[in-house]
């Protein structure tokens, strides 16, 4: 207990007042997997003030710069998870088929120990997503895993593009059609939710455009009523928000592409997209990307006709593909999930590692900043004791913006930030096994409600 | 032989045209030549041969004579391993876990030792081929829910009837009472949870008392039929348990509960195996002292407490092994039992070592289930349950080229593979 309190105090001292600070570090003599520029042996990476300053041999830094000997180790970009619900107090605003106005960024919880566990798996950036209860869910937040802070603001990856969660299929059908007796109860209904909300958003945008052109010139010009839900739809139409759509079946994937074509929207990543492999040519032609599970299937009916070869088929058909977790457990070994594409479809090392680095970065619109080891990019690094695609690889160190957030050699057992001094024994909680996530994590907070019906 | 060639030709035609039809399992005599043979129990043989006749391994070694008429398979550059055994799954008992009418592992009720997993195993479950092509050839399928969920059965992943698949072990599963929360959604107060734990423990002790009494009456009635008790399916199923003939699989995870379970097992002199044992690392010495074997997993799972080190579930199997516990590894899954080799790989990396981890998915479960004369290693006289790989079976990228289960040569084929062949280069593509 005493140790906990001490540790807690140390954490406070370490992290408080270091708002979005960056660090400098020199990683010496590692095998550097750059992702975009090959693999460089016996190479150094110098991070200065949070940015990768140089990559090369025999680099040196000032005496006050922390140096890590990576001899015999593998250095790769920090892993990026394009689908997570970590660090969120709440996941679903399951009260309407469209809740485009809400934003998970209003419910960030920096105390989630899951962030540390993700760091211990080499993950430096995740996409904290709204759930899949609604056809149009809330807006999401791309976060950096700056664990140890009490300030939600420090988690945000400033400047990352806005994103929004859409959802197709069983989840919105169950919540609204079956659960509440309102549209959508079918995949036909789901299409109409999108068409209605985009149409309303379009008219809203036109009304404001008209007003903005005439205000001050026409005395009768009055501002339209402000509506944050429709404002969000208008922002999607303008291309300011990337859609991330929970989807499984091929037919519904095609449906949404048709809707988006009609409204001139082209920035979309399909999430889960278990049957993406069936419409890979259409996805590639549209320019849609896919963020998939390595091997989850058959936990619900709409993923029954899946294949673990999905990521390989999509990749080989030219679809930008990532492997995501959607799970507090899976996020800890995304490097292993990516390796499964070598068993199922024989992807190359570079293709497999792109699935958890540069590709999810592209899907989140942050690929100019992270996702590969390149000079000028942000200093997010994961270091392993073996090739990260090996089953025997163990993450050794994880660096965000040049600061070490996980070091296996200096790892305290209890890494909670929010320790209750009254609690004598931490509460034991049996985490659910696979059979319980018949509802995906996307349905957090909703499934309980549904069981009551 | 002729048939074999015909069959191979036919198989090639089918698979190249992408026709979704699973190839038939093939029996006969096979010689697997020029292989690295990892026997598990008798060392590793380089450049050796393994002979399969009448479903059994009949020779393993460097200079064995190959009889005429045997189908030879060149395994140059390849390795042969025993088929892996998953010691705790619901494989075959659920098609889609979210669709309740396709789920057969969780019968209504609390005390149901008479519920037989073997009855509900669907030999045509789509996950079975998906599992075996990853090298898992045998699994324990365990009923779920309640205090005594039912009777588990060990099955080989080949065959069209449960009897064909049955691999010779049954055990009664028990969920040892616990005051733990069952998940984030569990809103019961601590007091309520403790009350329920006590109630369940009393219920468990009552059952044992009744079953012992039932056994006495039963043995008395052998000579005097008039003493025969009224038909009681629960007690009928408990009879071999209290007689020590059917082992008990005691699911228990929390530190305190593990210790109580050991005492309870010892007090009642039960032939038991501990399963789950997520917090075994906290009481590894005590478990080792009890000499009760452990089936643990999934390895790829979250720590049980927020305050735990991030890797406690990865290291658990290794800590138990080093303390001297006989450990087997399970996935506790149904559709993704194929991840067993990866669970073993993580255990190996996090302290268990490759050799012990391999035993935890081969010979250890075979011994725990009392079928080591048939399964778990590559030895003369055992069933031909084996895989031919291009490398370490735990390594993620490793490919399996040949699969034998119970002597049957099983095609490397599953719905996942069929969909891959159909859709990798889809036709028609984009053109109408």
Q: What is the pLDDT of residues A232-262, one digit of tens each?
A: 999 999 999 999 999 999 999 999 999 999 9
Q: What is the pLDDT of residues A45-99, one digit of tens each?
A: 999 999 999 999 999 998 899 999 999 999 999 999 999 999 999 999 999 999 9
Which tokens is A81 given? 């998870």
For B390, the closest chain A residue by CA position comes to A343
Average pLDDT estimate for B401-410: 97
> Smallest Cβ distance to B420: which of A313, A340, A434?
A313
Q: What is the pLDDT of residues B263-311, one digit of tens each?
A: 999 999 999 999 999 999 999 999 999 999 999 999 999 999 989 999 9
* 8 Å CB contact between A331 and B160: no
pLDDT value for A2:
46
B259 — contact with chain A (CB < 8 Å)?
no
* A224/A210 Cα distance (integer angstroms): 10
* A358/A335 Cα distance (integer angstroms): 13
| Residue B138 DSSP one-character state | E
Contacts of A298 in chain B (CB under 8 A): 95-97, 126-127, 334-335
Chosen from B259, B417, B423, B432 to mutate, greatest number of chain A CBs within 10 A: B423
In the block, residue with structure tokens 């994961």 = A382
Closest CA to A245 of A292, A278, A205: A292
Query: Looking at domain B84-375, does it have CATH number 3.20.20.140?
Result: yes
B398 — contact with chain A (CB < 8 Å)?
yes
DSSP string, A251-275: HHHHHHHHHHHHHT---EEEEE-TT
Closest CA to B88 of B270, B227, B260, B296: B296
In the block, residue with structure tokens 């889960």 = A272
Write down the mean pLDDT value for chain A. Answer: 92
Which tokens is A265 given? 């929207």
For B300, the closest chain A residue by CA position comes to A329
> Smallest Cβ distance to A299: which of B184, B279, B335?
B335
Average pLDDT estimate for B78-85: 98
B183 — contact with chain A (CB < 8 Å)?
yes
- Parse chain B into domains and list their residue ranges: 84-375
Q: How many CB atoms lie within 10 A of CB A64?
A: 6
B20 — contact with chain A (CB < 8 Å)?
no
> Smallest Cβ distance to B310: which of A117, A306, A307?
A117
| Residue A53 DSSP one-character state | E
B337 — contact with chain A (CB < 8 Å)?
no
pLDDT value for B235:
96
* B89/B141 Cα distance (integer angstroms): 5
pLDDT at A12 over 50: no
Closest CA to B405 of B85, B137, B131: B137
Task: Mark B151-171 as b/e (b = at least 16 C-beta within 10 Å).
Answer: bbbbbbbbbeebeebbbbbbb
For B90, the closest chain A residue by CA position comes to A435
CA B200 to chain centre: 28
Q: What is the pLDDT of residues B208-266, one digit of tens each?
A: 999 999 999 999 998 888 888 888 999 999 999 999 999 999 999 999 999 999 999 99
Does the bond joining B298 to the residue before it have cis omega, within 30 degrees of 0? yes
| Residue B308 DSSP one-character state | S
In a 13 Å sphere around the CA of B354, the CA atoms on its Cβ side amount to 8
> Smallest Cβ distance to A428: which of B180, B394, B417?
B180
């Amino acid at each position: 207990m005493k140790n906990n309190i001490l540790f807690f105090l140390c954490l406070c001292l370490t992290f408080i007042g270091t708002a979005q600070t960056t660090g400098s570090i020199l990683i010496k003599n590692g095998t550097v997997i750059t992702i975009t520029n090959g693999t460089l042996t016996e190479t150094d990476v110098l991070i200065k003030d949070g940015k990768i300053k140089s990559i090369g041999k025999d680099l040196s830094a000032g005496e006050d710069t922390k140096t890590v000997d990576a001899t015999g180790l593998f250095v790769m970009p920090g892993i990026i998870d394009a689908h997570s619900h970590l660090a969120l107090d709440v996941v679903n605003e399951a009260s309407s088929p469209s809740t485009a106005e809400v934003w998970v960024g209003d419910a960030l919880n920096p105390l989630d120990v899951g962030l540390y566990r993700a760091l211990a798996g080499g993950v430096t950036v995740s996409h904290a997503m709204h759930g899949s209860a609604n056809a149009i869910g809330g807006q999401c937040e791309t976060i950096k895993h700056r664990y140890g802070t009490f300030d939600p603001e420090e988690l945000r990856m400033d400047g990352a593009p806005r994103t929004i969660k859409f959802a197709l299929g069983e989840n919105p059908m169950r919540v609204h059609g079956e659960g509440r007796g309102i549209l959508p109860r079918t995949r036909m209904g789901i299409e109409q939710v999108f068409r209605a909300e985009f149409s309303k958003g379009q008219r809203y945008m036109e009304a404001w455009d008209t007003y903005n052109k005439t205000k001050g010139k026409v005395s009768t010009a009055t501002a339209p009523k402000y509506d944050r839900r429709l404002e969000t739809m208008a922002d999607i139409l303008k291309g300011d928000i990337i859609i991330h759509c929970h989807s499984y079946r091929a037919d519904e994937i095609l449906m949404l592409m048709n809707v988006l074509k009609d409204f001139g929207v082209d920035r979309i990543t399909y999430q889960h997209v278990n049957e993406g492999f069936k419409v890979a040519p259409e996805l590639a032609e549209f320019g849609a990307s896919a963020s998939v599970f390595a091997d989850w299937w058959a936990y619900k009916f709409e993923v029954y006709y899946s294949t673990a070869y999905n990521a390989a088929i999509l990749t080989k058909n030219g679809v930008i593909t990532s492997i995501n977790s959607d799970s507090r457990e899976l996020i800890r070994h995304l490097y292993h999930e990516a390796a499964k594409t070598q068993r199922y479809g024989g992807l190359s090392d570079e293709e497999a590692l792109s699935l958890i680095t540069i590709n999810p970065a592209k899907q989140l619109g942050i690929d100019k900043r992270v996702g590969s080891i390149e000079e000028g990019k942000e200093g997010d690094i994961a270091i392993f004791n073996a090739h990260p695609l090996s089953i025997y690889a163990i993450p050794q160190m994880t660096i965000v913006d040049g600061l070490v957030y996980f070091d296996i050699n200096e790892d305290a057992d209890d890494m909670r930030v929010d320790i209750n001094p009254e609690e004598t024994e931490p509460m034991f909680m049996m985490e659910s096994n696979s059979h319980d996530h018949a509802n995906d994590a996307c349905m957090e907070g909703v499934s309980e409600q549904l069981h009551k019906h | 032989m002729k048939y074999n060639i015909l069959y191979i030709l036919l198989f090639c035609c089918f698979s190249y045209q992408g026709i979704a039809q699973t190839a038939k399992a093939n029996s006969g005599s096979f010689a697997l030549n020029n292989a690295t043979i990892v026997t598990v129990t008798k060392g590793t043989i380089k450049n050796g041969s393994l002979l399969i006749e009448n479903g059994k391994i009949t020779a393993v070694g460097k200079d064995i004579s190959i009889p005429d008429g045997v189908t030879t398979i060149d395994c140059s550059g390849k390795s042969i391993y025993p088929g892996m055994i998953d010691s705790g799954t619901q494989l075959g008992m659920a098609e889609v876990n979210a669709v309740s009418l396709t789920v057969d592992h969780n019968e209504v009720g609390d005390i149901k030792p008479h519920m037989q997993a073997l009855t509900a195993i669907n030999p045509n479950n789509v996950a079975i081929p998906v599992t075996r092509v990853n090298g898992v050839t045998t699994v324990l399928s365990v009923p779920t829910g309640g205090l005594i969920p039912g009777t588990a059965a060990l099955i080989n992943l080949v065959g069209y009837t449960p009897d064909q698949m049955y691999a010779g072990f049954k055990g009664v599963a028990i969920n040892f009472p616990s005051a733990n929360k069952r998940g984030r959604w569990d809103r019961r107060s601590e007091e309520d949870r403790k009350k329920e734990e006590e109630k369940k423990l009393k219920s468990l002790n009552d059952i044992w008392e009744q079953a012992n009494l039932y056994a006495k009456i039963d043995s008395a009635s052998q000579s005097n039929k008039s003493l025969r008790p009224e038909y009681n399916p629960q007690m009928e199923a408990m009879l071999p348990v209290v007689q020590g003939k059917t082992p008990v699989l005691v699911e228990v995870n929390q530190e305190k509960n593990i210790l109580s379970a050991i005492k309870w097992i010892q007090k009642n002199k039960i032939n038991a195996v501990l399963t789950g044992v997520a917090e075994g690392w906290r009481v590894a010495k005590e478990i080792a002292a009890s000499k009760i074997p452990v089936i643990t997993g999934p390895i790829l799972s979250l720590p049980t407490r927020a305050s735990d080190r991030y890797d406690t579930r990865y290291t658990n199997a290794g800590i138990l092994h080093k303390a001297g516990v006989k450990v087997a590894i399970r996935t506790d899954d149904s559709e993704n039992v194929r991840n067993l080799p990866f669970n073993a790989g993580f255990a190996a990396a996090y302290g268990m070592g490759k050799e012990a981890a391999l035993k935890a998915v081969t010979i250890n479960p075979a011994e725990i289930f009392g079928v080591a004369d048939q399964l778990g290693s590559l030895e003369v006289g055992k069933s031909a349950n084996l895989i031919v790989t291009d490398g370490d079976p735990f390594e993620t990228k490793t490919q399996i080229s040949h699969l034998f289960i119970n002597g049957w040569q099983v095609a490397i084929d599953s719905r996942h593979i069929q969909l891959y062949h159909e859709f990798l280069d889809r036709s028609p593509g984009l053109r109408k």
